[in-house]
Amino acid sequence: MTSNDLIEHPVTLHPRRSTAADEAVRERWSVDAIDALLNLPFNDLMWRAQQVHRQHFDANEVELATLLSVKTGGCPEDCGYCPQSVHYDTGVKAEKLMASGEVRAAAEAARQAGATRFCMGAAWRAPKDRDIDAVAELVRTVKDVGLEACVTLGMLAEGQAERLRDAGLDYYNHNLDCAPDFYGEVISTRDYQDRLDTLGRVRDAGVKVCSGGIVGMGESRRHRAGLVAQLANLPEYPESVPINHLVKVEGTPLADQPDLDPFEWVRVIAAARITMPTARVRLSAGRQQQGDAVQALAFLAGANSVFYGDKLLVTGNPDVAADRTLFKRLGIVSRAGIPGVSGR
């Protein structure tokens, strides 16, 4: 790959962990190179993705993560896809942070169903220090149940990631959502650079990074390549990469967005697998709408993590029984074992 192939976006990548040694050992991906991947004949792209996937993972194993909204609604941000924003009339009511007893019960149920990671989402622009104390308690609760803990709380200030780490947090989720040159079409209340700064703080604190995006928001294929390039070219790419498909919620600005060809979602999953070979690529929001056949293609493209449970933050997800049936039909297993489906 020549220097001309390096990413050309104007956004400054978080500089703190990028060293000459990093640059030497890690392949960098240009938007052009990823666009070329996305434009491959579908079967060729699947073949490339499968080759990479099998070098790094058991191709038939998925990670099961359960997501719980621990503080729903009332968010001051204006993300155009989100029913939890106060800017849109979606019927989602603002609630207080859940008590640790409720979280413990949900985490225990998730573990019994076979999940290994428990992700908690709070609809804040940025948590206050007292919020961090309360979430730290929830993190300790989840760890005590025996699950990996992940939280998504919005933008972090200096020092907050360290406090979450000290509570035992394994992963922090903060999605880039889309390419920088499409971002203004979706969100106006925070900058792309704010997101990169939060990811940098998480990384610097030694907490693993979960970051991905959403397809189907009206972006072009080139924009989708731009999103994958941003993720793959982070100083250290995320350990978890959720690839969401827009769930159109009435009342949000994107409610009437035309449907994206489902193969585009699969192509982006394949591009994420190829460019971030050791990441867990997760099928996230929108999985329910894709149906079993498209999900099977997504696993073929290198997805190896799913949100598992009847509900995501405030939208539906395939129910646990439907997932177990699908995994059985596909011969998919999980690390911890799935009741009713074999495990490893």
Binding positions for ligand SF4, rule: CB under 6 A: 75, 77, 79, 82, 84-85, 123, 154
Query: Any known ligand binding at 150?
Result: yes
Shortest separation between residue 90's beta carbon and ligand SF4, angstroms = 10
Give CA–CA dist 308/105, Å, rounded: 16
Catalytic residue among 48, 117, 119, 273: 119
Q: Tokens 């050992």 correspond to what residue?
A: 25
Instruction: Flag whether 28 is marked binding.
Output: no
75 annotated ligand binder: yes
Q: 72 or 305: whose CB is closer to ligand SF4? A: 72
Residue 78, phi then psi, degrees to nearest 5: -120, 35
Nearer to ligand SF4, 34 or 210 (CB): 210
Q: Is 324 annotated as a binding residue?
A: no
How far apart CA 310 and CA 320 sit, in angstroms, is: 6
Q: Least distance to ligand SF4 from the beta carbon of 38, Å?
A: 25
Greatest CA span in the chain, whole angstroms?
Answer: 55
178 in a labelled binding site = no
Tokens of 126: 């940025």
- Options 117, 178, 203, 210, the catalytic residue: 210
- Which residue of the set 48, 79, 165, 195 is catalytic? 79
Task: Specify whether 178 is catalytic.
Answer: no
Least distance from ligand SF4 to the Cβ atom of residue 73, Å: 8
Closer residue to ligand SF4 (CB): 190 or 267: 190
- Closest listed residue to residue 295, CA positions, set 329, 271, 272: 329
Closest CB 291 distance from ligand SF4, rounded Å: 25
Residues designated as active site: 75, 79, 82, 119, 150, 210, 282
- Residues placed in the known binding site for [2Fe-2S] cluster: 119, 150, 210, 282
- Residues placed in the known binding site for [4Fe-4S] cluster: 75, 79, 82
- Residues placed in the known binding site: 75, 79, 82, 119, 150, 210, 282
